[in-house]
């Protein structure tokens, strides 16, 4: 049974949570603490999966508690549940927080947030990697884009549109900005999937304090890149995002699903970036395994790590609060039939877009480099030449639009 610890200095708030979550007693093991100190005592004797804490508490505040938990028990998913008046404090301490929820928080929101966290843990297939992933505060950027963003933001004539354009070309920056903008912290009514829109909503001053003050971005600096080419990973990710969006249009998905398709396509290989940045030794072993057996890279990852870049990426996005549609699109982009949510979705678009992008390289969709025909025919997709031609036309159209006007 998965365990959650709630921390709040107001006993009435804890009583409210107990009542709100009574129906989950058979599925979740829940404990309650009235201070950071008490929480640490409880954590020292029992293993927990999720910590939900208030921000402003006497003695140790929520961020101090989460910083300690990050170091002592990195696998625990860290959620802040706070009032609006605590926003300033939180803004200063974004690092250790995976997700934010605002008080008052309704039962369904709290239940679905925690349930999604447990579901992505089950997806990961390797609990020891959870420690590495949940310590991640941000992912490094392509050096050229990092320089561009710092120059643009540092310039007295910096433009918000240009900042959005640069961020939407970078996997790590896009994921971080969308994690922040979609958290309850910013209180937006809609779910944003476009990095350019996210930047427009945040405004230049907020983006400046995030980038220059809180330093949410960093530059990629590893040099051993036999696992995959950095420039190639970025190009492939942006191209997949674009093509997934066009395929989603072709499949007549809803506007929300088209937005999800772009975002899931852009970040579908974020797990590769995590592996490169955080697990370089594993990357060397994966490369060895793939070259000695001739299997696809994701199959080599499974043999070496017991999981794949797809699941690793989905886990990070899951604990950062991304929607189920994005998580599915990332987790199952090499094996869509394994996804329990059936039907046409952003996953379908990402699967087709990624497959087309990988068509000519060695990281093929599967050994034969072809699509899962059972999956496609179940969805009524005739993956004929005609369909492929339509995708190519959409792709070309998308690239032309992209030249004019970035990725919206
Ligand atoms: Fe992949
Ligand atoms: Fe890919």
Say if residues 318 and 123 touch (Cβ distance below 8 Å): yes
In this predicted structure, what is the pLDDT of residue 385? Answer: 57
Question: How far is 146 from 221, CA to CA, in rounded Å?
Answer: 11
Residues having C-beta closer than 5 Å to ion ligand 1? 269
In this predicted structure, what is the pLDDT of residue 276? Answer: 92
Q: Does position 407 have pLDDT exceeding 50, yes or no?
A: no
pLDDT band at 78 (very low <50, low <70, confident <90, very high): very high
pLDDT digits (tens, 9 = 90+) for 271-284: 999 999 999 999 99
In this predicted structure, what is the pLDDT of residue 88? Answer: 65
Q: What is the mean pLDDT of residues 241-262?
A: 94
The CA 152 to ligand 2 mean position distance, Å, reads 29
In this predicted structure, what is the pLDDT of residue 89? Answer: 66
The CA 328 to ligand 1 mean position distance, Å, reads 13
pLDDT digits (tens, 9 = 90+) for 342-372: 999 999 999 999 988 776 554 444 444 578 8
Q: What is the mean pLDDT of residues 157-180?
A: 92
Q: Does position 398 have pLDDT exceeding 80, yes or no?
A: no
Q: What is the mean pLDDT of residues 163-170?
A: 94
Q: Which residue has the higher pLDDT, 158 or 396?
A: 158
In this predicted structure, what is the pLDDT of residue 4? Answer: 97
pLDDT digits (tens, 9 = 90+) for 180-234: 888 877 777 778 999 999 999 888 888 888 888 878 888 988 766 788 888 889 9
Q: Name the superfamily (CATH) of residues 230-405.
A: Hypothetical protein af1432 (1.10.3210.10)
The CA 268 to ligand 2 mean position distance, Å, reads 6
The CA 112 to ligand 2 mean position distance, Å, reads 29
Q: What is the mean pLDDT of residues 101-126?
A: 89
Q: Which residue has the higher pLDDT, 368 or 236?
A: 236
Q: Whose atoms come closest to the Cα of 314: which ligand?
A: 1
Q: Whose atoms come closest to the Cα of 331: which ligand?
A: 1
Query: What mean pLDDT is reported for the chain?
Result: 87
pLDDT band at 406 (very low <50, low <70, confident <90, very high): very low
CATH code that applies to domain 2-124: 3.40.50.2300
Q: Which residue has the higher pLDDT, 189 or 141?
A: 141
The CA 180 to ligand 2 mean position distance, Å, reads 25
The CA 318 to ligand 1 mean position distance, Å, reads 17
pTM of the prediction?
0.90
In this predicted structure, what is the pLDDT of residue 190? Answer: 77
Q: Does position 387 have pLDDT exceeding 80, yes or no?
A: no
What residue segments make up the domains of the chain, in order of their start? 2-124, 143-213, 230-405
pLDDT digits (tens, 9 = 90+) for 88-112: 666 766 778 999 888 888 888 899 9
Say if residues 300 and 323 touch (Cβ distance below 8 Å): no
The CA 288 to ligand 1 mean position distance, Å, reads 18
């Amino acid at each position: 049974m998965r365990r959650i610890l709630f921390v709040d200095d107001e006993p009435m708030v804890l009583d409210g949570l107990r009542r709100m979550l009574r129906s989950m007693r058979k599925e979740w093991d829940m404990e309650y603490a009235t201070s950071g100190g008490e929480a640490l005592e409880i954590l020292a004797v029992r293993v927990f999966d999720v910590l939900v804490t208030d921000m402003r508490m006497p003695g140790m505040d929520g961020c101090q508690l989460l910083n300690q938990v990050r170091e002592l028990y990195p696998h625990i998913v860290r959620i802040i549940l706070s009032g609006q008046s605590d926003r300033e404090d939180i803004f200063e301490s974004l690092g250790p927080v995976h997700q934010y929820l605002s008080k008052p928080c309704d039962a369904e929101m709290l239940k679905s947030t925690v349930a999604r966290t447990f579901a992505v843990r089950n997806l990961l297939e390797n609990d020891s990697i959870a420690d590495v992933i949940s310590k991640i505060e941000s992912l490094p950027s392509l050096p050229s884009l990092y320089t561009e963003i710092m120059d643009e933001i540092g310039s007295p004539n910096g433009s918000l549109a240009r900042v959005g354009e640069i961020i939407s070309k970078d996997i790590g920056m896009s994921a971080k900005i969308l994690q922040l903008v979609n958290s309850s912290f910013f209180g937006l009514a809609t779910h944003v999937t476009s990095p350019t829109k996210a930047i427009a909503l945040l405004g230049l001053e907020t983006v400046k304090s995030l980038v220059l003050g809180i330093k949410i971005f960093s530059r990629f600096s590893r040099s051993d890149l036999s696992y995959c080419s950095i420039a190639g990973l970025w190009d492939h990710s942006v191209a997949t995002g674009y093509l997934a969006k066009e395929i989603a249009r072709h499949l007549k998905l809803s506007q929300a699903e088209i937005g999800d398709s772009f975002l899931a396509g852009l970040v579908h290989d974020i797990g590769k970036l995590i592996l490169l940045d955080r697990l370089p030794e594993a990357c060397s072993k994966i490369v060895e395994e793939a070259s000695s057996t001739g299997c696809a890279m994701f199959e080599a990852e499974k043999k070496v790590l017991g999981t794949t870049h797809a699941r690793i990426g989905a886990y990070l996005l899951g604990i950062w609060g991304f929607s189920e549609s994005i998580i599915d699109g990332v987790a199952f982009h090499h094996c869509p039939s394994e996804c329990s949510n059936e039907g046409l979705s952003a996953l379908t678009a990402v699967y087709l877009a990624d497959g087309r992008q990988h068509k000519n390289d060695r990281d093929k969709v599967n050994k034969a480099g072809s699509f899962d025909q059972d999956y496609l025919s179940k969805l009524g997709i005739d993956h004929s030449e005609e369909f492929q031609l339509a995708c190519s036309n959409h792709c070309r159209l998308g690239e032309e639009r992209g030249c004019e006007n970035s990725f919206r």
